[in-house]
Structure 1
Amino acid sequence: MRTQLPSVLLLLALLSAVTLQSQAQKPAPYPPRTGEWTRIKKVDEYHVQGIARFAVSEHNKQTGEDLEYVRIYRGYVDGPFYKLLIQATDDVKARRYEAVVRDRLWNKPKELIYFRRSS
Protein backbone atom coordinates (compact mmCIF):
# COMPACT_ATOMS: atom_id res chain seq x y z
CA MET A 1 0.00 0.00 0.00
CA ARG A 2 2.87 2.39 0.76
CA THR A 3 4.36 2.02 -2.71
CA GLN A 4 1.05 2.96 -4.37
CA LEU A 5 0.57 6.20 -2.41
CA PRO A 6 3.29 8.20 -4.25
CA SER A 7 1.93 6.98 -7.59
CA VAL A 8 -1.60 8.07 -6.71
CA LEU A 9 -0.38 11.47 -5.50
CA LEU A 10 1.64 11.95 -8.69
CA LEU A 11 -1.38 11.04 -10.80
CA LEU A 12 -3.61 13.50 -8.92
CA ALA A 13 -1.04 16.27 -9.28
CA LEU A 14 -0.75 15.61 -13.01
CA LEU A 15 -4.53 15.63 -13.52
CA SER A 16 -4.95 18.90 -11.61
CA ALA A 17 -2.15 20.53 -13.62
CA VAL A 18 -3.74 19.47 -16.91
CA THR A 19 -7.15 20.74 -15.77
CA LEU A 20 -5.76 24.12 -14.72
CA GLN A 21 -3.85 24.49 -17.99
CA SER A 22 -6.88 23.68 -20.14
CA GLN A 23 -9.04 26.19 -18.24
CA ALA A 24 -6.39 28.90 -18.58
CA GLN A 25 -6.27 28.54 -22.38
CA LYS A 26 -9.99 29.15 -23.00
CA PRO A 27 -10.42 32.60 -24.59
CA ALA A 28 -12.99 34.97 -23.20
CA PRO A 29 -15.77 35.46 -25.76
CA TYR A 30 -16.02 39.21 -25.22
CA PRO A 31 -14.42 41.79 -24.98
CA PRO A 32 -11.77 41.37 -27.65
CA ARG A 33 -8.22 40.65 -26.65
CA THR A 34 -6.64 43.95 -27.73
CA GLY A 35 -9.58 46.13 -26.79
CA GLU A 36 -9.09 48.45 -29.76
CA TRP A 37 -11.64 48.40 -32.56
CA THR A 38 -10.31 49.36 -35.98
CA ARG A 39 -12.84 50.79 -38.40
CA ILE A 40 -13.47 48.78 -41.56
CA LYS A 41 -13.12 51.23 -44.43
CA LYS A 42 -14.83 49.08 -47.07
CA VAL A 43 -17.90 47.54 -45.45
CA ASP A 44 -19.21 46.55 -48.87
CA GLU A 45 -16.53 43.84 -49.23
CA TYR A 46 -17.88 40.33 -49.77
CA HIS A 47 -16.41 38.91 -46.56
CA VAL A 48 -17.85 41.66 -44.34
CA GLN A 49 -21.25 41.41 -46.06
CA GLY A 50 -21.23 37.67 -45.42
CA ILE A 51 -20.57 38.17 -41.71
CA ALA A 52 -23.41 40.72 -41.49
CA ARG A 53 -25.83 38.38 -43.25
CA PHE A 54 -24.73 35.56 -40.93
CA ALA A 55 -25.45 37.75 -37.88
CA VAL A 56 -29.02 38.45 -39.01
CA SER A 57 -29.62 34.83 -40.00
CA GLU A 58 -28.25 33.46 -36.73
CA HIS A 59 -30.29 35.98 -34.74
CA ASN A 60 -33.41 34.81 -36.58
CA LYS A 61 -32.61 31.18 -35.75
CA GLN A 62 -32.02 31.92 -32.08
CA THR A 63 -35.05 34.15 -31.49
CA GLY A 64 -37.59 33.04 -34.09
CA GLU A 65 -37.82 36.56 -35.50
CA ASP A 66 -37.99 37.19 -39.24
CA LEU A 67 -35.57 40.05 -39.81
CA GLU A 68 -34.36 40.70 -43.33
CA TYR A 69 -30.88 42.08 -43.91
CA VAL A 70 -30.84 45.46 -45.67
CA ARG A 71 -27.30 46.81 -45.39
CA ILE A 72 -24.29 47.36 -43.18
CA TYR A 73 -23.51 51.00 -42.55
CA ARG A 74 -20.46 50.74 -40.29
CA GLY A 75 -18.08 48.04 -39.12
CA TYR A 76 -15.14 47.54 -36.81
CA VAL A 77 -12.68 44.68 -36.43
CA ASP A 78 -10.45 43.52 -33.59
CA GLY A 79 -8.66 40.27 -34.32
CA PRO A 80 -11.31 37.62 -34.95
CA PHE A 81 -14.14 39.87 -33.69
CA TYR A 82 -16.34 41.99 -35.95
CA LYS A 83 -18.61 44.69 -34.53
CA LEU A 84 -21.15 45.54 -37.20
CA LEU A 85 -23.85 48.20 -37.30
CA ILE A 86 -26.55 46.70 -39.47
CA GLN A 87 -29.85 47.86 -40.88
CA ALA A 88 -32.55 45.18 -41.03
CA THR A 89 -36.29 45.21 -41.56
CA ASP A 90 -39.08 43.23 -39.94
CA ASP A 91 -41.51 43.74 -42.89
CA VAL A 92 -42.81 46.90 -41.26
CA LYS A 93 -39.95 49.18 -40.40
CA ALA A 94 -36.20 49.24 -41.01
CA ARG A 95 -34.26 49.41 -37.77
CA ARG A 96 -30.62 49.55 -36.78
CA TYR A 97 -28.90 46.73 -34.93
CA GLU A 98 -25.47 46.14 -33.44
CA ALA A 99 -23.90 42.70 -33.74
CA VAL A 100 -20.61 41.19 -32.65
CA VAL A 101 -19.45 38.09 -34.50
CA ARG A 102 -16.33 36.03 -33.92
CA ASP A 103 -14.99 34.73 -37.23
CA ARG A 104 -12.56 31.85 -36.76
CA LEU A 105 -10.94 29.73 -39.44
CA TRP A 106 -10.89 26.60 -37.30
CA ASN A 107 -13.60 24.59 -35.54
CA LYS A 108 -16.77 26.71 -35.94
CA PRO A 109 -16.13 29.33 -38.61
CA LYS A 110 -18.49 31.98 -37.22
CA GLU A 111 -20.12 32.57 -33.84
CA LEU A 112 -22.68 35.25 -32.97
CA ILE A 113 -21.61 36.82 -29.67
CA TYR A 114 -24.54 39.23 -29.43
CA PHE A 115 -27.16 40.93 -31.55
CA ARG A 116 -29.17 43.83 -30.16
CA ARG A 117 -31.20 46.78 -31.31
CA SER A 118 -29.20 49.97 -31.63
CA SER A 119 -30.55 53.41 -30.87
Structure 2
Amino acid sequence: MASRLPSLLLLVAVLSAAAHHAYSAKDYPSTGWTRIKGVEEQQHAVDIARFAIGAYNRKMDDSLLFVRMIRGYVNGKYYKLTITCIQREDRYEENVKDWKYETLVYEEPNMPRQLIYFKDFF
Protein backbone atom coordinates (compact mmCIF):
# COMPACT_ATOMS: atom_id res chain seq x y z
CA MET A 1 0.00 0.00 0.00
CA ALA A 2 2.77 2.45 0.90
CA SER A 3 4.43 1.93 -2.50
CA ARG A 4 1.17 2.90 -4.28
CA LEU A 5 0.74 6.15 -2.38
CA PRO A 6 3.13 8.26 -4.51
CA SER A 7 1.50 6.94 -7.69
CA LEU A 8 -1.96 7.71 -6.37
CA LEU A 9 -0.92 11.21 -5.33
CA LEU A 10 0.57 11.84 -8.76
CA LEU A 11 -2.62 10.58 -10.44
CA VAL A 12 -4.78 12.85 -8.27
CA ALA A 13 -2.54 15.84 -9.05
CA VAL A 14 -2.66 15.17 -12.80
CA LEU A 15 -6.45 14.71 -12.80
CA SER A 16 -6.95 17.85 -10.72
CA ALA A 17 -4.80 19.88 -13.09
CA ALA A 18 -6.66 18.49 -16.10
CA ALA A 19 -10.05 19.25 -14.55
CA HIS A 20 -8.96 22.76 -13.63
CA HIS A 21 -7.71 23.37 -17.15
CA ALA A 22 -10.86 21.94 -18.73
CA TYR A 23 -13.05 24.47 -16.93
CA SER A 24 -10.63 27.29 -16.32
CA ALA A 25 -12.21 30.74 -16.15
CA LYS A 26 -9.71 32.02 -18.70
CA ASP A 27 -11.16 29.63 -21.30
CA TYR A 28 -14.72 30.89 -21.22
CA PRO A 29 -15.96 33.21 -23.98
CA SER A 30 -15.28 36.90 -23.47
CA THR A 31 -17.69 38.07 -26.18
CA GLY A 32 -20.98 36.92 -27.64
CA TRP A 33 -23.02 36.91 -24.43
CA THR A 34 -26.81 37.19 -24.79
CA ARG A 35 -28.83 38.69 -21.95
CA ILE A 36 -31.46 36.39 -20.44
CA LYS A 37 -34.66 38.47 -20.45
CA GLY A 38 -36.84 38.13 -17.38
CA VAL A 39 -34.08 36.13 -15.71
CA GLU A 40 -35.77 36.21 -12.31
CA GLU A 41 -38.66 34.24 -13.82
CA GLN A 42 -36.54 31.73 -15.77
CA GLN A 43 -36.58 28.59 -13.62
CA HIS A 44 -33.60 27.07 -15.43
CA ALA A 45 -31.45 30.13 -14.66
CA VAL A 46 -32.62 30.06 -11.02
CA ASP A 47 -31.71 26.36 -10.81
CA ILE A 48 -28.23 27.14 -12.13
CA ALA A 49 -27.85 29.96 -9.57
CA ARG A 50 -28.88 27.62 -6.75
CA PHE A 51 -26.39 25.02 -8.01
CA ALA A 52 -23.62 27.65 -8.00
CA ILE A 53 -24.44 28.69 -4.42
CA GLY A 54 -24.46 25.07 -3.26
CA ALA A 55 -21.16 24.33 -4.98
CA TYR A 56 -19.61 27.46 -3.48
CA ASN A 57 -20.93 26.60 0.00
CA ARG A 58 -19.44 23.10 -0.19
CA LYS A 59 -16.09 24.33 -1.46
CA MET A 60 -15.75 27.24 0.99
CA ASP A 61 -17.66 25.72 3.94
CA ASP A 62 -20.03 28.70 3.81
CA SER A 63 -23.79 28.99 4.27
CA LEU A 64 -25.10 31.40 1.65
CA LEU A 65 -28.79 31.34 0.73
CA PHE A 66 -30.26 32.43 -2.59
CA VAL A 67 -32.35 35.64 -2.47
CA ARG A 68 -32.93 36.67 -6.08
CA MET A 69 -31.58 36.96 -9.59
CA ILE A 70 -30.41 40.37 -10.77
CA ARG A 71 -29.36 39.57 -14.33
CA GLY A 72 -28.04 36.75 -16.42
CA TYR A 73 -26.26 36.09 -19.68
CA VAL A 74 -25.82 32.95 -21.73
CA ASN A 75 -23.16 32.04 -24.27
CA GLY A 76 -23.58 28.51 -25.57
CA LYS A 77 -23.04 26.25 -22.57
CA TYR A 78 -21.93 29.03 -20.20
CA TYR A 79 -24.20 30.96 -17.85
CA LYS A 80 -23.00 34.17 -16.21
CA LEU A 81 -25.40 35.20 -13.45
CA THR A 82 -25.52 38.09 -11.01
CA ILE A 83 -27.40 37.10 -7.86
CA THR A 84 -27.99 38.24 -4.30
CA CYS A 85 -27.48 36.04 -1.25
CA ILE A 86 -27.65 36.26 2.51
CA GLN A 87 -25.98 34.18 5.20
CA ARG A 88 -28.15 31.29 6.43
CA GLU A 89 -27.92 32.46 10.06
CA ASP A 90 -29.38 35.86 9.05
CA ARG A 91 -32.50 34.48 7.33
CA TYR A 92 -34.92 35.37 10.13
CA GLU A 93 -33.42 38.76 10.93
CA GLU A 94 -34.93 42.05 9.81
CA ASN A 95 -33.07 44.52 7.60
CA VAL A 96 -30.42 41.99 6.65
CA LYS A 97 -27.88 43.17 4.11
CA ASP A 98 -27.82 40.99 1.04
CA TRP A 99 -24.64 40.53 -0.94
CA LYS A 100 -24.20 40.54 -4.70
CA TYR A 101 -22.21 37.81 -6.42
CA GLU A 102 -21.34 36.97 -9.98
CA THR A 103 -21.07 33.34 -10.92
CA LEU A 104 -20.12 31.47 -14.06
CA VAL A 105 -21.40 27.95 -14.62
CA TYR A 106 -20.69 25.54 -17.46
CA GLU A 107 -23.58 23.25 -18.35
CA GLU A 108 -23.58 20.49 -20.91
CA PRO A 109 -26.50 18.05 -21.42
CA ASN A 110 -26.10 14.73 -19.59
CA MET A 111 -23.02 16.01 -17.74
CA PRO A 112 -22.69 17.49 -14.24
CA ARG A 113 -22.69 21.27 -14.08
CA GLN A 114 -19.32 22.87 -13.38
CA LEU A 115 -18.82 25.96 -11.25
CA ILE A 116 -16.17 28.06 -13.00
CA TYR A 117 -16.18 30.92 -10.51
CA PHE A 118 -18.22 32.55 -7.77
CA LYS A 119 -17.07 36.00 -6.72
CA ASP A 120 -18.18 39.22 -5.05
CA PHE A 121 -19.86 41.62 -7.44
CA PHE A 122 -19.20 45.31 -6.89
Alpha-carbon distance in structure 2 between the residues aligned to 1:33 and 1:66:
30
Structure 1 segments of 4+ aligned residues over 3 angstroms from their partners? 26-31
SS of residue in 2 equivalent to 1:87: strand
SS of residue in 1 equivalent to 2:31: coil
Which residue in 2 is equivalent to 1:101? 105
1:35 is aligned, of 20, 31, 35, to 31
Change (3 A) 1:45 1:93: same
TM-score, scaled relative to structure 1? 0.70
8 A contact 1:103–1:111 mirrored in 2: yes
Letter in 2 for 1:117: D
Which residue in 2 is equivalent to 1:52? 49
5+ residue gaps, structure 1: 1-22
Which residue in 2 is equivalent to 1:75? 72
Letter in 1 for 2:107: D
Overall identity of the aligned pairs, in % = 37
8 A contact 2:83–2:101 mirrored in 1: yes
Change (3 A) 1:51 1:28: closer
Letter in 2 for 1:76: Y
Of structures 1 and 2, the larger Rg is shown by 1
5+ residue gaps, structure 2: 1-17, 91-95
Alpha-carbon distance in structure 2 between the residues aligned to 1:45 and 1:58:
20
Give the paired residue count: 94
